[in-house]
Amino acid sequence: MLDRKKALLINFTADAYHWGCYGTSMEIYTTLIESGYFIETRSVYEVHTLKPTPQNNNEFHDNNFFKKYSEENQDLCRSISNSDIIVINAEGTLHGLAKGPINLLYLMLVCKKYFKKVVHLINFSCFPNGDNTAPKDNTAIYIDVLKMLDNIVVREVFSENLLKEVGIKVMSGFDCLPRFLSRYNLTERTKSNECVLVSGGVRMPEEYVSFYVKFINWLYSKNISVRFLAGAKSDPDNADYKFWHYLKQTTKHKDMKLVDTKSFQSWVDEFRSASFFFSARFHHTIAALSIGTPFAVLPSNTQKISAMLNTVSSTVTCLSPDEDGFVKLQELVNNSSNQNLKSHDGEILEKMIEGGNKNFDNL
């Protein structure tokens, strides 16, 4: 294409956190190129560290605050001005009123109010209050900003219902990771390595840590090998390595292997060959579900995992980190050789991919 339009892709995560974030961001990046755009990206790290940050709802609408903001972020504002469309890959950023979500909300407002750009908010969950209740009072700023946007596609049904409740027009979609896996024919299982694959989570309270220790000790008693999954394109989450070291020291499973993946292919291959997967991570759970790896999962820092599983009508639900949850986990591992998560002939994977397609319907 000779004359391409420019898309500014904000909250880009391909080089952040872990390989699941890489996959979902690269699917957006690749699809935008296929749709005739050239791309400039702005990292999720930049979004989280932008300043100044509005300290109250009044500053969101204060022209003097924007003047100060534009002076301190001239390069970013130039990028916005020079773009034909703005694509916001919000993923899990929009929950609560911490610096990250406030910065992203204000940046979307800036794009729309001051630069009059077409803004697409896609591939995300939204929990303004941290749960599945609608925004109100201090979190009403979510309503003010999102109502300004041109196109909104959420990745699960809880966020869809929450936003529709307050009159925000949204389209029901899904995360882009299954599309990326399917694009490169990575949704089939390979020969099992007879290992249980585990990873940590964004939120790891003491009750989760104790649950992991108990589970890994049980696997040791059953003579089941364990592999701990980590790795990212760059800047991997250091908490993963600290957690692996803790488990290595605390549990009886001293030969538990750290798998520090250096490529997306090697990360996916761990799911494809694992006999079972357990974590508290969103994208890791989607990978297991896409590939058909038997899995169990604890809730993340919001209800996004439960919401995602509900959206695709998965028979798997989040475990509770208690004795009932542990008994259920043991049953799932014991029955994993008999599980066939693709018993619907690929219906769940197809549903996830179709949902992912919705992110691009209006681009």
Residues 239-280 have pLDDT tens digits of 999 999 999 999 999 999 999 999 999 999 999 999 999 999
State whether 100 and 23 are in the same domain. Answer: yes
pLDDT of residue 338: 60
- Any idea what the CATH number is for the domain that residue 88 is in? 3.40.50
Question: Per the domain annotation, does 307 fall within a domain?
Answer: yes
Domain housing 115:
5-172
pLDDT of residue 346: 82
- Any idea what the CATH number is for the domain that residue 271 is in? 3.40.50.2000
pLDDT of residue 209: 98
State whether 50 and 157 are in the same domain. Answer: yes
State whether 92 and 145 are in the same domain. Answer: yes
Question: Per the domain annotation, does 145 fall within a domain?
Answer: yes
Whether the upstream peptide bond of residue 236 has omega within 30° of 0, thus cis, is no
Question: Per the domain annotation, does 356 fall within a domain?
Answer: no
Which DSSP helix (H) or strand (E) runs through 291? helix 282-291
Q: Measure the CA–CA gap between 237 and 245, rounded to whole angstroms.
A: 14
State whether 17 and 165 are in the same domain. Answer: yes
Question: Per the domain annotation, does 155 fall within a domain?
Answer: yes
State whether 131 and 279 are in the same domain. Answer: no
Task: Of 181, 127, 134, 179, give the one whose Cα is nearest residue 154.
Answer: 127
State whether 163 and 214 are in the same domain. Answer: no
State whether 15 and 161 are in the same domain. Answer: yes
Question: Per the domain annotation, does 361 fall within a domain?
Answer: no
Residue segments in the chain with a per-residue pLDDT below the cut of 50? 342-345
pLDDT of residue 140: 97
pLDDT of residue 344: 43
Question: Per the domain annotation, does 134 fall within a domain?
Answer: yes
Long-range Cβ contacts of 335-342 (<8 Å, 24+ apart): 336/275, 336/276, 336/294, 337/275, 339/294, 340/292, 341/289, 341/292, 341/293, 341/294, 341/295, 341/316, 342/292
State whether 156 and 123 are in the same domain. Answer: yes
Question: Per the domain annotation, does 142 fall within a domain?
Answer: yes
State whether 111 and 224 are in the same domain. Answer: no
State whether 159 and 82 are in the same domain. Answer: yes
Q: Measure the CA–CA gap between 139 and 96, rounded to whole angstroms.
A: 7
Question: Per the domain annotation, does 27 fall within a domain?
Answer: yes
State whether 154 and 211 are in the same domain. Answer: no
pLDDT of residue 343: 40
Per the prediction, the chain carries an average pLDDT of: 96
Q: Measure the CA–CA gap between 124 and 250, rounded to whole angstroms.
A: 36
DSSP letter (8 states) at residue 137:
G
Task: Of 305, 50, 324, give the one whose Cα is nearest residue 203.
Answer: 305
User: How many domains, the chain?
Assistant: 2
